[in-house]
């Protein structure tokens, strides 16, 4: 059984911070790969008007994932899913010979109760929460954490996540890269142009990086 970490997000754009936490999670959780699921649209971010086209965000993700055991995908397009819960349910059914763990930052845990079917997500796959500066207090006080608190597993047991009874959550702390997509967009308003020419079609399947076969 391959051990796969799933990192979903807008990747608007993808950057070294995404890569850094993915590589740290690979080691901490003894993963074979991390899959970046580049979302066609984030229901909680749709009010923002600076979302780049999916093809451009995929192109930026492929560049950021080069030479690493990271696969870039717009799988939600293929699956026809809009919400994370539906994507995870279909992924688990579609790949029965893979073990999945959901990766997310503590900023997402702070608003996890706003996600559709968040309890179902926790019952389908283990969750690894990666600490982010400034969000830990909000995450620990979040409504979802009240429900998940009894399901926390010690970080020293992180490599045994495939054996955990669900729901299960582990809190991980890494030396984080301070890169922020918001800051990158502010510093380089024309960033989309750098990836537009190489973006190509919006392929929905899994795209292996040069590291993988």
Domains of the chain, CATH where assigned: 2-196 (3.40.50.620)
Looking at residue 137, its pLDDT comes to 82
How far apart are the C-alpha atoms of 10 and 1, rounded to whole Å? 28
Phi then psi for 181, rounded to 5 degrees?
-60, -40
Q: Looking at residues 111-127, what average pLDDT do you find? A: 97
The answer to which of 13-17, 104-108, 193-197 has the lowest mean pLDDT is 193-197
Q: Looking at residues 196-210, what average pLDDT do you find? A: 52
Looking at residue 213, its pLDDT comes to 31
SS3 state of residue 96: coil
Could you give the C-alpha distances from 86 to 89, 118, 180, in angstroms and in order? 5, 10, 27
Q: Looking at residues 84-101, what average pLDDT do you find? A: 97
Q: Looking at residues 148-165, what average pLDDT do you find? A: 97
Looking at residue 10, its pLDDT comes to 92
Residue 87 has pLDDT above 70, yes or no: yes
Looking at residue 102, its pLDDT comes to 99
Looking at residue 187, its pLDDT comes to 59
Closest CA to 149 of 132, 128, 167, 134: 167
Q: Looking at residues 43-61, what average pLDDT do you find? A: 80
> What value does the mean pLDDT of the chain take?
86
Strand order in the sheet with 70-73: 152-153, 169-172, 127-130, 98-105, 2-9, 33-38, 70-73, 206-208
- Rounded to two decimals, what is the model's pTM? 0.85
Characterize the bridge pairing of strands 152-153 and 33-38. Answer: unpaired
Strands (E) located in 22-160: 33-38, 70-73, 98-105, 127-130, 152-153
Q: What angle do CA 133, 161, 32 make, to 5 degrees?
A: 85
Looking at residue 174, its pLDDT comes to 83
Looking at residue 180, its pLDDT comes to 58
Residue 182 has pLDDT above 80, yes or no: no
């Amino acid at each position: 059984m391959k051990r796969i970490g799933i990192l979903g997000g807008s990747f608007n754009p993808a950057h070294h911070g995404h890569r850094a936490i993915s590589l740290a999670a690979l080691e901490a959780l003894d993963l074979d790969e991390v899959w970046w699921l580049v979302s066609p649209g984030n229901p909680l971010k749709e009010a923002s008007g600076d979302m780049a086209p999916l093809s451009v965000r995929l192109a930026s993700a492929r560049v950021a994932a080069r030479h690493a055991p990271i696969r870039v995908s717009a799988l939600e397009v293929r699956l026809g899913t809009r919400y994370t819960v539906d994507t995870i349910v279909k992924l688990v059914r579609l790949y029965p010979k893979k073990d999945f763990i959901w990766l997310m930052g503590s900023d997402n845990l702070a608003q996890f109760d706003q996600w559709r079917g968040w309890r179902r997500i926790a019952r389908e796959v283990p969750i690894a929460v990666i600490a982010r500066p400034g969000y830990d207090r909000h995450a620990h006080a979040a409504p979802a954490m009240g429900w998940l608190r009894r399901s926390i597993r010690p970080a020293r047991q992180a490599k045994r996540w495939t054996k955990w009874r669900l729901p299960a959550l582990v809190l991980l702390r890494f030396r984080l890269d301070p890169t922020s997509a918001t800051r990158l967009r502010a510093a380089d308003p024309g960033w989309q142009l750098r990836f537009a020419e190489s973006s190509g079609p919006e392929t929905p399947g899994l795209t292996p990086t040069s590291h993988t076969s």
